Structure 1
Amino acid sequence: MRVGFIGLGNVGGKLSGSLLRNGFELMVRDLDPDLVDQAVAKGATAANSPREMMAACDTVITCLPHPSISAAVVEGEEGLLDAIGPGKTWLEMSTTDEAEVKRLGDKVRAKGGAAVDCPVSGGCHRADTGNISIFAGCDRETFERILPLLTTMGRRVLHTGELGSASVLKVLTNYLATANLISCAEALTVAKGAGMDLATAYEAMKISSGTSFVHETESQVILNGSRDISFTMDLVLKDIGLFQEVADRAGVPLELNPLMIDIFKDGIDRFGARELSPNIIKRLEEATGLDVTAPGFPSEMVDDEPEEPGYEVVPTRG
């Protein structure tokens, strides 16, 4: 299987690196020539356009920051659609809108190709080691065909149903992660204000019913002061905005998510769209005059689990 990969940023660069590290023949494309050069130095070849890549590859993966960019890559001038046909697969690993991936997927399938929405979850540090989790929305036959790709890039792979289902679940899980981030920021700031030792507060949260994946990762870089989780406020706002759109289409009157949208809009107004997302705590630090940091915590997260072959996760019932 010859694979193409478009989008070599924080996540895409690591996912494509797993493919190269494990012997896949890979063609790459990114608007940043330095990122392309780095991939080529590791054994990839470069494509001049999405159309050229799709013509040369069996499967093309996109991992891009916004649905509008994916749309341009798929259906724009020299786009993937120009070369899609039977035996070709478009695999969308961006966090995107359910309705938009279905719209583009219908165009791909109308030309005889297959389409999969295939977002990842678990942090950039796990994408780097091939231990991230992957959702895949597509028909079962397509899923089984691409499973060797997915189990190379990720540890746990969940077939979520038809095209679009993975994107719904991805923005749902990102909503939960955002709620966890905001609550951890509040809890740590209250702990500081109440005179608690922050290392002790971190451990109390970790061993309690209040723990979460976000606490065990992002709280550490918050306390270090780096706040570096390789994710920015504009991306958080995009993701929870997409979750709001899913809720609106479903007629579900949310209360918490609109408040979180306002919190991150305020964070962007204060600190900039590309500010690291854990620095949402700066709103509280500025309001209180507190410095919510402590010695002994890492500046970035590193996955200390060895890379292992991935596997399909089968949903359980109870």
Structure 2
Amino acid sequence: MDASQWESIRDWAVFLGLLLVACVVLVTVNRPFNQALRTYGMEVTARIEQQFAWVGRYTRALQENETLRARNIELSSEVARSRDARARNQALEAMLELKTRADSVVTDTTLAAARILQKDLTHQQNVLTLDVGRRDGIEPGMPVVTPDGIVGTVLLVSPRFCRVLPFLNTDFRVPGRIESVGAEGVVRWEGDALNRLAMEHVVKTEPVEVGQRVSTSGHSGVFPSGWPIGTIETVEPRPGRNDLAITLRPAVALHALDHAFVIRVRPSSYDLPADSTLGYDYVRLAPADS
């Protein structure tokens, strides 16, 4: 190496040599000054690391958040499945209870379990469609019920489906009896609120009160006696008349109904409402039937 080359690297060589000596001294010599230098260097390094430590924490928080979100979705799915299973079990238990109740109320009666395929509850001429029909022994006029109370009567029947006239239809009528009083009247829907029925022809002298239950009287020839219709919500005398204006809350919430039973007993006399009134015909009931 000639003099010119040494001149070009001399400064860097000296600097690296001094730096190496300083590192050796700091590491090997345990003197107060050296300890103070190491302490100061550690303090500076720790402060710098502290300033950037949030980056690692933020990254770990994001990862934990993603893990918790995925676990939350899994738990939500499990809860939804559990709720659905519990609801199905409750529905099955209610249907078994209904079978027992029906056998005790209606002798020699068989029930056809049905699923509600369609609900048309948007106007005064409301109807339901069930997945049972003539093949299941269903005929027009048969009553449709649930564990909570009456639903309606079978209107039209095809081989595999049937159309039901529910109590939320202005053409529906059913004789009812106030259980605690014994007073009888006719229950119908006036076509306005979906959670209110009207009971008519109950005389003013009857001790009718809010909260009393109303059930079928059995005089219709369709529904057996003792089947729940609703609970009295309001009672008022009709001006200039001898009867009371009574409103009921239906025992069955049709909008939340998924299953029902058809009592397979053909009433002795049952007249179908005129097609011109309801606007339904046999072909539209189940066009896919063969």
| TM-score tier (shorter) | under 0.3
TM-score by length of 2: 0.22
Normalised to the residue count of structure 1, the TM-score between the two structures is: 0.21
Choose 1 or 2 for highest CA Rg: 2
More helix by share: 1
